[in-house]
Amino acid sequence: MKLALLLAGILVLVVLGLLFRLQVLNAIYSGSTKRQIGGSNKVNGLLMMVFLVLGGAAFAWSYVAYHKETLIPVASDHGVKMDSMFWLSMGVIMIAFVVTQILLFWYSYKYQHQDGKRAYFFPHNNKIEIIWTTIPAVVMAILIFNGWKQWAAITGPAPKDSVVLEVMGKQFNWMVRYPGADQQLGNLNYRLIDATNEWGFDFNDQRSIDDLTPSEIHVPKGRPVLVKIRARDVIHGMYMPHFRAQMYAVPGMPTQFWFTPNKTTEEMRTETGNANFNFELACSQICGRGHFAMKMAVVVDDEQDYAIWLAKQQTFTAAHPEVLANLKPAATGAVTQAVAPVAKAAATVLQP
Amino acid sequence: MAADLTNPGVPAEVALGHGQQAHAHAEHHDDHEHEHHEEPWLFKYVFSQDHKMIAKQFLITGMLWAIIGGTLSSLFRIQLGWPKATLDWLEPVLGHWVSAGKLDPEFYLAMVTMHGTIMVFFVLTAGLSGTFSNLLIPLQIGARDMASGFMNMLSYWFFFLSSVIMFISLFLSTGPASAGWTIYPPLSALPQAMPGSGAGMTLWLCSMAIFIVSSLLGSLNYVTTVINLRTQGMSMTKLPLTIWAFTLTAILGILSFPVLLSAALLLIFDRSFGTSFFLSDIYIGGQALSNTGGSPILFQHLFWFLGHPEVYIVILPGFGMVSEIIATNSRKPIFGYRAMIGSMLGISLLSFIVWAHHMFVTGMNPFLGSVFMFLTLIIAVPSAVKVFNWIATLWRGNIRFTTAMLFSIGFVSLFISGGLTGIILGNATLDIQLHDTYFVVAHFHLVMGSSAFFGMFAGVYHWFPKMFGRMLDEKLGYIHFWLTFLGVYLVFLPMHYVGIAGFPRRYYAWTGFDTFSTFADLNMFISVAAILSFVAQFVFIFNFVYSIFRGRRATQNPWNSTTLEWTTPVEGIHGNWPGAIPAVHRWPYDYSKPGAADDFIPQTVPFSATTSSNLPHEQEGE
C-alpha cells in the first residue's frame, strides 16, 4: 500500500515534469520567449479582476456566515463600550481596506500593458501627498483620543465599593481567594508554599486566617469587581473573554483588573439559548505543557445568590486546621484559644 | 536547450554549465590592480568574499530554513485542524514526541516556538536582508564590493554557525526551546517549568548570540558601504529606494540587536549563574527559589526594544524592493520618491518608540500604555502614505505582469490587509480583549510574515538574472504566485474571525473550553489552506533549482530597468564592472519620460545625451 502510494507520487511528479518540459519547448518553438510581453500579461491582468471580485464576494460571504459565531457575548459594562469601539474602528479600517484594495486591483487590470501605449510620467505631487498624509492623521487622532479615554477609565482606580478577590496562576490551574469577615486579604509569602498551603498564606498575619478559598469564582452582577492577580511560578495571562478582561499574572509583581459584570450566568443562558453556558477564566500567556487547559469556572450571581454562596464558603484554615498547628509554638497554643488577639499580637511584632 | 536557442552567442561552457561558472571569467579587481587568477573552489563558493556569492549563500540557507519553518507550521496546523485525530503516522518523523497517536503538548509548543524563531530571524532577517543587501548594495550604488569583504564573509559564517546550533537543538531529547519565540522568563529561564527550557533554551540563546554577531557584522558593512562607496554622481537623492530601505534596515539592526544581546546575556546569567534579573518570588517544582527582586517585565521591555524594530527590519527591505519593482514594471517613476524616503525615515524612527504596545496588559503602568498607544497609531500615517504612493505609481502605468510584479502587487495587498488591523491592536483599549489571541496571529502573519515573504519572492524573481545569469520560468512563477496569494488569504483571513472570538494563541487544543469549542470547521479549513500553500512553495523550489542550471539565459537588462546593476555583465564578474565604474547622472526612475526615445533612461545616461526629454531644471544640471 505504502509502496503503491510512493510509486503513484513519483509518477505524478514525472508527469508534471514532462508537462513542464513540453511547455518550455513549446514556448521556445512558438518564439514567445523572445517577446517582451506575451499573452500571459492579459491573463494575469484579468486574474487581478477575478481575484478582486471573487475574493471580495467570498470575504462578504464568510462574514455573513461566521459573524454570529465570532461575536462572543459580552457581560461587562466596559466590555459593551469596548465592543462598540471595536466595531466602529473595524468600520473605519474596512472603508480604507475596500477603497485601497479596489484601487490596487482595478488599476493593475486597467493599466496593464498595451502595445504602443506609454505610461504617464507623473513623478510627484506635493498637494496630493499632503492630503493623504493629513486624512489618516486626523482619523488616527480621533481613534487615539477615543481609545485613550476608555483606556484611562478601564485602567483607573477601582471604585471603593468593589468586591475584591484574588486569583493566582500556577502550572497548570488557577486558584482564587476571597477576604473573610475582616474584608481584607492576608499576606502571602512564596517561601511558605507547600503541598497544603498552596497560596503561601502567612498565618502570622491575622488577616490571612479567615481568607476563603473556593474552587470557582463567583461575582455579583452590577457591582464592580476588583481582581487582584498573582502568579507563583511563571507568567500566566488572566483572561475572561466575556468580560473583555485580560491582565498578565506575573511572579513577584501583583497586578489587577477591575470590571462590572452586567449579566448573570442565568441571564446569559437565556440570552444565548445555551442551557450549559458558563463564563470561563482562561490562561492567555504561554506557560508550559498545560497552558491550553488552565481553566476556572466563573459564575455571575445576583446580589442575593452571591451573598448566599459567599456565606457557604469555608475558610482555608477551617479546611486545613493543621496549617495553624505548624505555626510557632507560642502562637499555636494561643490560636486554639482565641485566634484574633494572638494574630493581632503577631502582627504587632511584625510591624516595627 | 532554451539557453542555446535564445542566446547563440553565449560561450558553450557558460550555456551548458550553471550560472556560477560564469565566475570562471577573468577576475577584475580595482582598475589599477588587474589580477587574472583562478580562485580555488573553496574560496570561490565556500569562504567567498564576493558579495554576490555571499548573497547566494544567505538566500539558499534562508530557503532551507524556510522549508523547515514551513514544515513545522504544517505539523502544528495538523494538530489544530484535527485535534482528535490519531497521529501514529507521524511517529517515524517525530519519534517519541508522538505517543499513543497523540502529539506531545510540549512538542507542540516547541514547534510553534521554532517556527517563529526560524521565520523571523533566520528566514526574514538573515535570508532577506542578507541576500538582497549583499547582492544589491554594491551593484546599485556602483561599488566593486562591500567595504569589507572579509567582515561580510564572517557575517555569513557566523550565521551559518548559529544555524547549525539552532538546527542541532531540534534534535535534543528534551526538545528545542519551547517558551514561544519571545522566550519570556521565568518560563524560559527555568528548566523545571518545561523541558524545552533546559538544553534547548541554552542552545537557542547561544545560537541567537552568534546570530546577533552575524547581523551586526553585516549591518555595519552595509551602512559603511552605502555611505562611503557610492559611485561618482550617486548622491543620496539619486539612490534607488532599495538602497534607502536596506540602509535603514541595517541602522535599525545596529541599534536594536545589541539590546536583544543584553537581554539574552542577562537571561543566560539568570539561568546559569544564579542572578535574579528577571526572577522573583517563584515557587516551582515543589521548591521556593531563592531569587528575589528581579522583574520578568524588564525582559519584555528589552526583548521588544529589539522585537519591534525587528518587524520593520523584516518589512523594510520589502518596501524598497517592491517600490523598485512596481516602478520598473509600471514603466513609471515611483510616485513621491522623497515622500517614500521620508515615510521610511519616519517609520524607522517611530519603530524605536512603540515597543511597549506589545505589553499593554502586562501590568505596566497604564500611563505608559497611553503614550505607547499614541506613538503606535502614528505609524499608520507613514504606512498609509507608502500604500497610496504605490497605488499612484500603478495609476496610468503600462503594467507588465512579470512574476516579480505580481508578487509586488500581492505585497501591497497583504500589507494593507495586515497593516489595517494594527490600528485595532495598537489601541490599548481594544488590545485588552485581543492581546494574545488569533487576531494578533492573523495580523502579524499578514503584515510582516506574508508581506515580507512576498517581498522576498518578488526580489528573487526580479534579481535572479543578476544572481545566476538565467531567468526563472515565468509560467511556473505565475502558478506559484496565484496559489500562494490565494492560499495566504485563505489561511489568515478566517483567522481574524477566530481571533475576534477570543481564541488564545499557542493553545495545543481549544476543546477544553466551552467558549472556544466553536470554529472546529474553520480551523480545519485554515489547516488545509496552510498545508496546500506550503506545498505550493515546492513549485518555486523546483523552478529555482531547475533555473539555476537549465533556465533561459538572461540578457543584460531583461526588465529594461534604469539602475546600475543592469549595466554589469550577465556573468557577474568579481569586481562587478569590467572597466571603470560608471558614473551616475540622474535619479533611478526616469521611466516613460516624455520626449525620450525609449521608455526608460538608465542612470548612467547624462542629461546632455537626452536634451529632448530633459525637464527645465535638468538642462542646467549637466
Q: DSSP letters along A250-263, please?
A: BBTB-EEEEE-B-S
Residues of B in contact with A40 (CB under 8 A): 401, 474-475, 478
| pLDDT one-digit tens code per residue, B429-460 | 999 999 999 999 999 999 999 999 999 999 99
Are the CB atoms for B608 and B587 separated by under 8 Å? Answer: no
CA contacts within 13 A on the Cβ side of B456: 28
* Mean pLDDT of chain A, nearest integer: 89
Query: For chain A, what is the radius of gyration of the CA atoms?
Result: 32
A337 to chain B nearest CA, in Å?
32
* Alpha-carbon dihedral B397, B402, B403, B409, rounded to 10 degrees: 0
The CA distance from B443 to B425, in Å, is: 9
- Enter the C-alpha cell of residue B255: 541599534
Across the interface, whether the CB atoms of B105 and A289 are under 8 A apart is answered: yes
> Within 13 Å of residue B193, how many CA atoms lie on the same side as its CB?
30
CB–CB contact B370 A72 (8 Å): no
What are the pLDDT digits (tens) for B321-358?
999 999 999 999 999 999 999 999 999 999 999 999 99
Of A314-318, A327-331, B5-9, B88-92, the least confident:
B5-9
Q: Which residue type is seen at A241?
A: P
Q: Among all residues of chain A, which has the CA nearest to that of B557?
A: A36
Q: How many CB atoms lie within 10 A of CB B86?
A: 11
Please state the separation of Cα A38 from the chain's center in Å. Answer: 50
CA atoms within 13 A on the CB side of B600: 23
Judging contacts by C-beta atoms under 8 Å, the chain B residues touching residue A199 are none
The total number of residues shown for chain B amounts to: 622
User: What backbone torsions phi and psi does residue B437 show, to the nearest 5 degrees?
Assistant: -105, 180
Contacts of A68 (CB under 8 A, 6+ apart): none
pLDDT of residue A34: 64
Q: Classify each residue of B204-213 as buried b or exposed e, where b means 16 or more C-beta atoms within 10 Å of its C-beta.
A: bbbbbbbbbb
Q: How far is A335 from chain B (nearest CA, A)?
A: 27
Contact A179, A293 (CB under 8 A): no
How many Cβ atoms are within 10 Å of B382's Cβ, its own excluded?
21
Half-sphere exposure of B472 (CA within 13 A, CB side): 29
Residue A251 CA from chain centroid, whole number:
20
Residue B25's pLDDT band (cuts 50, 70, 90): very low
Which residue among B2, B482, B592 places its CB closest to the CB of A118?
B592
**CA angle (B464 as vertex; B338, B320 as ends), nearest 5:** 15
Chain A, residues 1-30, CB within 8 A of chain B, namely: 20, 23-24, 27-28
Minimal CA separation from B9 to chain A, in Å: 15
Q: Considering the entire predicted model, what is its pTM? A: 0.92
C-alpha cell at B14: 557558460
B431 in Cβ contact with B358 (< 8 Å): no
**Which pLDDT band, with edges at 50, 70 and 90, does A324 fall under?**
confident
Nearest CB neighbour to A286, from listed B187, B336, B514: B187
Q: Does A232 touch chain B (CB under 8 A)?
A: yes
What does the block give as the cell for B208?
A: 541567537
> Cα–Cα distance between B325 and B562 in angstroms, integer?
11
pLDDT of residue B29: 42
Distance CA B421, CA B446 (A): 10
Give the pLDDT mean for B26-30.
42
Average pLDDT estimate for A187-207: 93
Q: Is A275 on the interface with B (CB under 8 A)?
A: no
Q: Which residues of B touch A34 (CB under 8 A)?
A: 6
Beta bridge partners of residue A220, listed in sequence order: A301
Stretch 89-148 of chain A: residues touching chain B, C-beta under 8 Å: 89-90, 92-93, 96-97, 100-101, 103-105, 107-108, 111-114, 117-125, 128-129, 132-133, 136-137, 140, 143-144, 147-148
The grid coordinates of residue B354 equal 512603540
CB contact under 8 A, A242 and B473: no
B603 vs B581: CA distance, rounded Å:
13
Q: In terms of DSSP bridges, do strands B98-99 and A255-259 run parallel, antiparallel, or are they unpaired?
A: unpaired
CB B435 within 8 A of CB B361: yes
In Å, how far is A343's CA from the nearest CA of chain B? 24
**Interface membership of B332 toward A (CB under 8 Å):** yes
User: Is the per-residue pLDDT at A60 higher than 50?
Assistant: yes
Nearest to A104 among B366, B409, B515 (CB): B409
A282 touching chain B per CB within 8 A: yes
In this prediction, residues B236-263 reach a mean pLDDT of 96
Cβ pair A74, A83 in contact under 8 A: yes
Report CA-CA distances (Å) from A298 to A175, A218, B309: 12, 6, 39
Cis peptide before B186, with omega less than 30 degrees from 0?
yes
pLDDT score at B319:
97
Q: Which of residues 417-436 of B touch A (CB under 8 A)?
A: 417, 420-421, 423-424, 427-430, 432-433, 435-436
The answer, for A277 touching chain B at a CB cutoff of 8 Å, is yes
Q: How confident is the model at residue A35 (pLDDT cuts 50, 70, 90)?
A: low
Pull the grid cell for residue A74: 459580552
**Of B72, B76, B81, B66, residue with least CA distance to B490:** B81
- pLDDT interval class at B10 (50, 70, 90): very low
pLDDT of residue A27: 79
Do residues A190 and A309 make contact, with C-beta atoms less than 8 angstroms apart?
no
Interface check for A84 against chain B (CB to CB < 8 A): the answer is no
Nearest chain B residue to A95 by CA distance is: B420
Please give the Cα distance from B342 to B336 (Å, whole number). 10
CB B369 within 8 A of CB A151: yes
Contact between chains at B363 and A247 (C-beta distance less than 8 A): yes
- A93/B421 CB distance under 8 A: yes
Grid coordinates representing B162 are 548559529
Answer positive or negative: Cα dihedral of B543, B545, B548, B551: negative
CB contact under 8 A, A286 and B109: yes
Closest CA to A313 of A195, A214, A210, A201: A214
What 3-state DSSP class applies to B472?
coil
A104 vs B416: CB contact, 8 Å cut-off? yes
CA distance B98 to B115: 18
Percent of all residues in chain B with a pLDDT value above 90, rounded to a whole number: 86
Q: Which helix (H) or strand (E) holds A329?
A: helix A329-337
Distance from CA of A173 to the nearest CA of B (A): 13
A residues 191-210 lying closer than 8 A (beta carbon) to B: 191, 193, 195, 200
Dihedral class, residue B164 (left if φ above 0, else alpha if ψ from -120 to 50, else beta) = alpha
pLDDT of amino acid A33 = 64
Segment A113-137 shows an average pLDDT of 93
| DSSP result, B256-301 | HHHHHHHHHHHHHHHHHS---SS--S-EETTEE-S--S--HHHHHH
Would you call A278 and B493 a contact, using CB atoms and an 8 Å cutoff? no
Contact residues on chain A for B378, CB-CB shorter than 8 A: 137, 140
C-alpha cell at B148: 569589507
Q: Which of B336, B486, B508 sits opposite A292 (nearest CB)?
A: B508
Nearest to B460, CA basis, from B475, B477, B445:
B477
Contact A143 B377 (CB under 8 A): yes
Burial class of B580 by CB neighbour count within 10 A (0 to 12, 13 to 18, 19+): exposed
SS3 B326: helix
Checking phi first, is residue A222 left (phi over 0); if not, alpha (psi -120 to 50) or beta?
A: left
A168 to chain B, closest Cα gap in Å:
12
Contacts with A51 from chain B: Cβ below 8 Å? 485-486
Q: Give residue A125's identity as a one-letter amino acid code.
A: N
> What is the rounded CA–CA span in Å between residue B185 and residue A114?
59
Cβ–Cβ pairs < 8 A, chains A and B: 352
Comparing C-alpha atoms, which of B63, B247, B58, B256 is closest to residue B158?
B58
d(CA A274, CA A49): 43
A276 contacts in chain B (CB < 8 Å): 514
pLDDT of B63 above 60 = yes
Contact B252, B316 (CB under 8 A): yes
State the Cα–Cα distance between residues B116 and B444, nearest whole angstrom: 11
Secondary structure string (H, E, C) spanning B196-217: HHCHHHHHHHHHHHHHHHHHHH
d(CA A54, nearest CA chain B) in Å? 11
Is the predicted pLDDT of residue B28 greater than 60, yes or no? Answer: no
What's the number of CA atoms in the CB half-sphere (13 Å) around residue B186? 30
Q: In whole angstroms, give the CA distance from residue B76 to residue B97.
A: 12
Binned at pLDDT 50, 70 and 90, residue A37 comes out as confident
CB proximity B545 to A under 8 Å: no
